[in-house]
A = this chain, B = another copy of it.
Amino acid sequence: MKTEKISELTTNRLSVYLRCLNELAASGVEAVSSKTMAEQFNLNSAQIRKDLAYFGEFGVRGVGYNVEELRRQLIEILGLTVKRKVAIVGLGNLGTALANYHGFSQGNFEVVGLFDDDPAKLGNRTRAGLRIQSTQALTDAIRREGIEIVVIAVPANAAERVLEQVTEAGVRAVLNFAPVHLAAKPGVKVKNVDLTISLESLSYFLANPSSEAINIVDREFLRHEAAAGAAK
């Protein structure tokens, strides 16, 4: 595997490819070309080949990719072979929604801790039965439970403080939903989620209704949930 610059946009696309491959595998497809994959899921075939080439040679010219093999490789590249423990800090509306969002506690992610500063919320339980604890217990919990990912859903003015607390406790991966841009620290990955990007994409469609590609079903964000829902 090459270790050159892999941008965040690339890893996001790898997640998208994995979802597509999951769907192909579920339909019994054994091999797929970048061209077919691009057409079926409204992606860019040159981009697919380029992204996957970062990680070595997967495809066979004229045959395409072996679906199972590529799935397995992407799962490994994305680090999805190991279960990651997740804590959510801030149990307002968004934090509570995330705590109940089953994509956050399935597959390779497990929400094991919920933390809030508000004494009125302590002891409350989410749908999954997790009890809300004081943020004073956060540092200990991170070390004791081996929490690797912290989701920040506190108000903007408290986000930086939470980031400091959890990175001091050893957390190296943070997903920030607070409406403030948090800068990463050395060796720590901070992913700031901006929900307005999705709105702008819709705005593009409204401004360019004739742009045919946008009329095609959006298959880019195929959900684990489709499969999970069917299994229920």
Contact = CB atoms under 8 A, between A and B. Distances in A.
Interface stretch (A117-125, A132-140, A217-225): A217-225
A212 B5 contact: yes
Q: Quick one: copies of this chain in the complex? A: 2
Contacts of A174: 202
14 contacts: A5-B213, A6-B213, A7-B213, A80-B200, A84-B202, A93-B93, A93-B96, A101-B179, A181-B222, A189-B206, A191-B221, A192-B222, A192-B223, A193-B195
Interface of A: 3, 5-9, 11-16, 18-19, 42-44, 47, 76-80, 82, 84, 86, 92-94, 96-98, 100-104, 107-109, 148-149, 156, 172-175, 179-181, 183-184, 186-187, 189-218, 220-226, 229
A198 B19 CA distance: 13
Task: Determine which residue in A93, A102, A173 has the highest number of CB atoms from chain B within 10 A of its CB, and name it.
Answer: A93
Contact of A15 (B197, B206, B209, B214): B197
A74 B77 CA distance: 34
A190 B220 CA distance: 11
A85 to B, nearest CB: 11
B43 A203 contact: no
Nearest to A8: B220
Contact of A196 (B44, B103, B148, B212): B103
Given A7-B42, A93-B94, A94-B93, A205 B189 contact: yes
A54 to B, nearest CB: 11
